[in-house]
Structure 1
């Protein structure tokens, strides 16, 4: 069997690289002072193509330091979980963990001064230093017995971090609330009668969104060494609204048509209604255990009427896409724009796409910046021009692989115009494999 996640640009990088004073086409805005980091799966050692899956792979973080209109450095580093240290023949950096597994490959976040590589399903966050070296696990002073989440949502007003965690070690999940100071302020059980995969969440002014969908832990698959979360035909699909500081008894569940959601664009409240926008997959991990994308996903909206107890669902765009992002100053509030990866039709198994799409919720339009043949873009991160600038007044950053050169560029686009000509292109000396999620971290005073 040829595993699609071990070949081409989805195949792993085999060395760690450090490069300085990178070549730039165009002009990097001087306002961009910080680091762009992107993490993803990167197998190390000999992989069995029959069983390898990127969701279970070792993590590698890639970073660029931008300042004064220059790209000062690029570096990539494996996250030194114990299995990686062993493969590299190094003395382990990290100590023992009671978490279910040691993968850290999905996202990079910074909270209360700590930069962390995070994953889900029982993995603990791994603290990284400014040079992307592995420092320690972070179990939030013992408050994370079953690990953390791939995606958390930070309230832009209070600085609190909300996450829904889950693990194969127990049914259901937990709502974990972390204060702006990095201390856990609440851990509430979410009672579900089996073990669904809960990849993301959403936050509104008063609620946290809980996904209970038909991808669940399969012990038989786990025993055979396959990725253990699979589509369960006939299982219910529902979305729960849980008060931010509520309990399991306070969750209001709404039944929806069978589907799966990896990534939420945003959620917000409109009077007695809650509006949720996310990319909806008709099914995943169904025809084959290794297929995280089977049918081209599209952007959908669910509107929950809290008074009537009903939910209305609608597809709001025909464009195949994934990896939605918004201006994170709008998390939990009504947004106008979201940005996603425009996928190639027929290539829904790829972790990258043909371009970046800008969805305008008010005008009901979609604009696509197409990077052209043989070029594939990853998730785009929005960076506002200034703290008080408009919702699309800023830049989008994405790593774009050039298949002809087999090299990767960091492309900076004008988010307002999404014009054909990028603002700047930083040329990396290496290929960055297709990966998961990135973030912009401005220089801290």
Structure 2
């Protein structure tokens, strides 16, 4: 009997990798790019190299590729894409290694691009070190923060908009528990505090308030059985408790207040803030993930959810905020840790579930309780939308949303600039890229320094 070949959805369609690094100048633009946009839009995601085992390949473990578009003076000056040359990727490309040996558990760098203390870094989680990139997206070095990160960093961190400090909850599949790592505005690690946990949960994100750091302890954990089969080693654990911890910014493990919640999973936080003796957390809630389909990051439609933790009574109240399914939340990052009004996400139809993108961008208004969707139309799929304020003192939604949109008919990708205030049907500008950018994870807008 001949078995039918396995079709892995993350090796096909717009999830399929591209096999060429491209540099292109003077990109075509429809509309008018705002002259205030002076910097680079960068986005990272998995981009497998060579033939992959369709049964075992998982996008969370794919080789990372960074995509960048340089905007200045109303012109799209260039697009380029570059693999992050971790040792494993350099070997697969047949190149000499750029990076040296490391004590980190693995060398994946495919989840987010951040900049801190002037260093541009590609980051991942579960025991991976940040990789420093130069202005042209070439791989430069590992950054272990002067030996303070022997087990790696985190996929997501939160920067205090006032102090410039960077807060992250790190973990490794090699050991139980995690750590709260605080990096000062000067790029030096100022504190590392141990977080005691029963086993090895997957902690993808965190949240920051004026006085607390949010810690997720949810039922997606490391599984040796799955790891021995050569697959992505995390899975849903039925019966495991779900809880969210509030750790004082300068506290220890003993100071964490834990709140039991209904079983679920959270990849991404929109924001958290304090309201008197209460802490309010908003994030996209998944009923479960990595359960019936081990290779799919999404199994059910995630919805924007609010948990309110009462520090006085120890009780938690929670509920769904809106009916529009979504993921990849972002806010105006000048408001991280404070009360926000607007958040943005990728809007998901039922047939978007399982994809690393959706049919549109949704804007949630927490004051009015309403939402608005910019739909890109049939065959067009958007990734995470990044908010860029018009100026340092502009209003919360006075600015633009930048997102990459794949056009299935042309099999090309555009950088689309939307007016965040109106989310009108007509984009402010569309930068036409010469290639397809595979569906990916996260990125940001990096204004020109100096």
Question: Shorter chain as normaliser: what TM range?
Answer: over 0.9
- Match for residue 275 of structure 2 among 270, 276, 281: 270
Q: Which residue of 2 aligns with 1:56?
A: 61
Q: Which residue of 1 aligns with 2:31?
A: 26
Q: Which residue of 1 aligns with 2:139?
A: 134
Matches within 5 A, 1:72-151: 72-151=77-156
Pairing 1:65–2:70 present = yes
Q: Which residue of 1 aligns with 2:10?
A: 5
Pairing 1:187–2:167 present = no
User: How far 1:347 sits from its partner (Å)?
Assistant: 2.6
Matches within 5 A, 1:194-213: 194-213=199-218
Unaligned runs of 5+ in 2: 1-5
Matches within 5 A, 1:344-359: 344-359=349-364
Pairing 1:341–2:352 present = no
SS of the residue 1:170 aligns to: coil
| Alignment partners' CA distance in 1, 2:303 and 2:248 | 28
- Match for residue 322 of structure 2 among 317, 320, 335: 317
Q: Which segment drifts farther, 126-135 or 83-92?
A: 83-92
After TM superposition, the score normalised by the length of structure 1 is 1.00
| Alignment partners' CA distance in 1, 2:121 and 2:189 | 16
| Alignment partners' CA distance in 1, 2:43 and 2:173 | 27
- Match for residue 415 of structure 1 among 408, 412, 420: 420
After TM superposition, the score normalised by the length of structure 2 is 0.99
User: How far 1:200 sits from its partner (Å)?
Assistant: 0.1
- Match for residue 370 of structure 1 among 375, 383, 389: 375
Q: Which residue of 1 aligns with 2:295?
A: 290
Q: Which residue of 2 aligns with 1:251?
A: 256
| Alignment partners' CA distance in 1, 2:296 and 2:426 | 34
Q: Aligned Cα RMSD in Å?
A: 0.5
User: How far 1:220 sits from its partner (Å)?
Assistant: 1.1
Q: Which segment drifts farther, 342-351 or 112-121?
A: 342-351
- Match for residue 225 of structure 1 among 220, 226, 230: 230
SS of the residue 1:362 aligns to: coil
SS of the residue 1:135 aligns to: strand
Q: Which residue of 2 aligns with 1:162?
A: 167
SS of the residue 1:171 aligns to: coil
SS of the residue 2:154 aligns to: coil
Q: Assess if the C-alpha contact under 8 Å between 2:352 and 2:359 holds in 1.
A: no
| Alignment partners' CA distance in 1, 2:420 and 2:25 | 27
SS of the residue 2:10 aligns to: helix
Q: Which residue of 1 aligns with 2:335?
A: 330
Pairing 1:171–2:182 present = no
Q: Which residue of 2 aligns with 1:40?
A: 45
Pairing 1:386–2:394 present = no
| Alignment partners' CA distance in 2, 1:392 and 1:3 | 39
| Alignment partners' CA distance in 2, 1:95 and 1:39 | 22
1:170-203 C-alpha deviation (Å, 9 max, x unpaired):
1010000000000000000000010000000000
Unaligned runs of 5+ in 1: none
1:218-249 C-alpha deviation (Å, 9 max, x unpaired):
01111110110000001000000000010000
| Alignment partners' CA distance in 2, 1:6 and 1:153 | 31
| Alignment partners' CA distance in 1, 2:86 and 2:296 | 26
| Alignment partners' CA distance in 2, 1:171 and 1:272 | 31
Q: Assess if the C-alpha contact under 8 Å between 2:417 and 2:427 holds in 1.
A: yes
User: How far 1:305 sits from its partner (Å)?
Assistant: 0.3
1:39-72 C-alpha deviation (Å, 9 max, x unpaired):
0001012100000000011000000000000000
User: How far 1:88 sits from its partner (Å)?
Assistant: 1.3
User: How far 1:346 sits from its partner (Å)?
Assistant: 3.0
- Match for residue 425 of structure 1 among 416, 421, 430: 430
SS of the residue 2:89 aligns to: helix
1:137-189 C-alpha deviation (Å, 9 max, x unpaired):
00000000110000000000000000000001110100000000000000000
Q: Assess if the C-alpha contact under 8 Å between 2:284 and 2:302 holds in 1.
A: yes
User: How far 1:292 sits from its partner (Å)?
Assistant: 1.2
| Alignment partners' CA distance in 2, 1:367 and 1:288 | 31
